[in-house]
């Protein structure tokens, strides 16, 4: 086996963390990239895999040019694309922004496996996987092909998002992947002029679901224009304002996830189908 082949795949990765949501539009990808950057800020060697085959966004969120491509080694393996101190891989590097992935499930699953197993991740403390929304083929493929250490569920406080968050939790339980906790996104809006706090999408929903499933609420993040603007401009909040209050919240969440991971038995999941 060549040096490149031995470095490929997941053997050198200590923990794999899936960042998932039951539905789109809850800020999952924004949370995933900031969480990955928070792990790096804590001194963890970190990778980020964009597993949203049909709607990859991490290349843009990391501020990389549209024509960015991974370096190919031995005509088979790919070097992660580095940005903001982390290595990343995404379908966004393998196709243009205007090229839709008109693929059936097995083809999308094959693309995920290729990015997992043919990327030269090297030795990582944490690989963050930005999952597509829902509970379909990609989620099952990841559970089958990688020993996922745990999942983080992202939701907003509104009832419809919480309903889908419950589905996400149930899915990971069926494949014996521990749910490390829930992140409640857009939990409140703080007026930049007067400081008034308003719970636009409801209040306490994330804590309620966390209690139902006996998992921790890892944090509640505000609905803040800066998070959206900075991520859209390729400078996620943890990188753009590392000493800011929002970055501090992401760092606090990352510490809780690290503590949860260190407390797990990482023997890998057993797949159960019903």
CATH number of the domain bearing residue 177:
3.40.50.300
What are the beta bridge partners of residue 19? 130, 152
The answer as to whether 59 is a domain residue is yes
In three-state secondary structure terms, 115 is: helix
For the whole model, what pTM was predicted? Answer: 0.87
Band of pLDDT at residue 67, cut at 50, 70 and 90: confident
The answer as to whether 268 is a domain residue is no
Q: How many CA atoms lie within 13 A of 179 on its CB side?
A: 28
Q: Which of 57, 54, 70 is nearest to 30 (CA)?
A: 57
Query: Could you give the number of structural domains in the chain?
Result: 1
As a whole-number percent, the residues of the chain with pLDDT over 90 amount to 46
The answer as to whether 272 is a domain residue is no
Better-scored residue on pLDDT, 198 or 171: 171
Q: Is 267 a residue whose pLDDT tops 50?
A: no
Calculate the average pLDDT of the chain: 84
The answer as to whether 32 is a domain residue is yes
Over residues 107-127, the mean pLDDT reads 89
Better-scored residue on pLDDT, 274 or 151: 151
- The beta strand positions in 21-145, using DSSP E, are 46-50, 72-73, 77-78, 81-83, 86-90, 124-130
The answer as to whether 274 is a domain residue is no
Over residues 256-268, the mean pLDDT reads 80
The answer as to whether 267 is a domain residue is no
Over residues 57-75, the mean pLDDT reads 91
**Domain of residue 162, residue span:** 3-262
Residue 241 burial by Cβ neighbours in a 10 Å radius (0-12, 13-18, 19+): middle
Cβ-proximal residues to 151 (8 Å cutoff; 6+ apart), any chain? 17, 18, 19, 20, 168, 172, 177, 178, 179, 180
Band of pLDDT at residue 217, cut at 50, 70 and 90: very high
- β-pairing, 72-73 vs 77-78, is antiparallel
Q: Which token pair is 150? A: 């745990």
The answer as to whether 24 is a domain residue is yes
The answer as to whether 273 is a domain residue is no
Using alpha carbons only, give the angle 212, 218, 224 rounded to the nearest 5 degrees. 115
Q: What is the pLDDT of residue 99?
A: 57
Better-scored residue on pLDDT, 56 or 46: 46
Separation between Cα atoms, residue 69 and residue 58, nearest integer Å:
13
């Amino acid at each position: 086996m060549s040096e490149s082949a031995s470095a490929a795949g997941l053997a050198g990765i200590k923990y794999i963390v899936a960042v998932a949501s039951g539905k789109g539009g809850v800020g999952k990808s924004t949370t995933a990239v900031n969480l990955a950057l928070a792990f790096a800020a804590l001194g963890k060697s970190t990778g980020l895999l964009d597993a949203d085959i049909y709607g990859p966004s991490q290349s843009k969120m990391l501020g990389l040019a549209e024509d960015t491509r991974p370096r190919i080694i031995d005509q088979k393996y790919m070097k992660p694309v580095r940005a903001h101190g982390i290595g990343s891989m995404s379908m966004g590097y393998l196709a243009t922004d205007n090229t839709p992935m008109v693929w059936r499930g097995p083809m999308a699953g094959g693309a995920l496996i290729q990015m997992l197993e043919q990327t030269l991740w090297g030795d990582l403390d944490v690989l963050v996987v930005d999952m597509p929304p829902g509970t379909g083929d990609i989620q099952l493929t990841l559970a089958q092909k990688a020993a996922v250490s745990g999942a983080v569920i992202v939701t907003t406080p509104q009832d419809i998002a919480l309903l889908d968050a419950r589905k996400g939790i149930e899915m990971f339980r069926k494949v014996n992947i521990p749910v490390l906790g829930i992140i409640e996104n857009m939990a409140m809006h703080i007026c930049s002029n007067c400081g008034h706090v308003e719970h636009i999408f409801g209040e306490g929903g994330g804590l309620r679901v966390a209690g139902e499933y006996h998992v921790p609420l890892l944090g509640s993040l505000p609905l803040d224009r800066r998070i959206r603007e900075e991520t859209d401009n390729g400078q996620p909040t943890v990188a753009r304002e590392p000493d800011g209050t929002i970055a501090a919240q992401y760092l606090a969440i990352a510490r809780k996830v690290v503590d949860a991971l260190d407390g797990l038995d990482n023997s890998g999941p057993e797949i159960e189908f019903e």
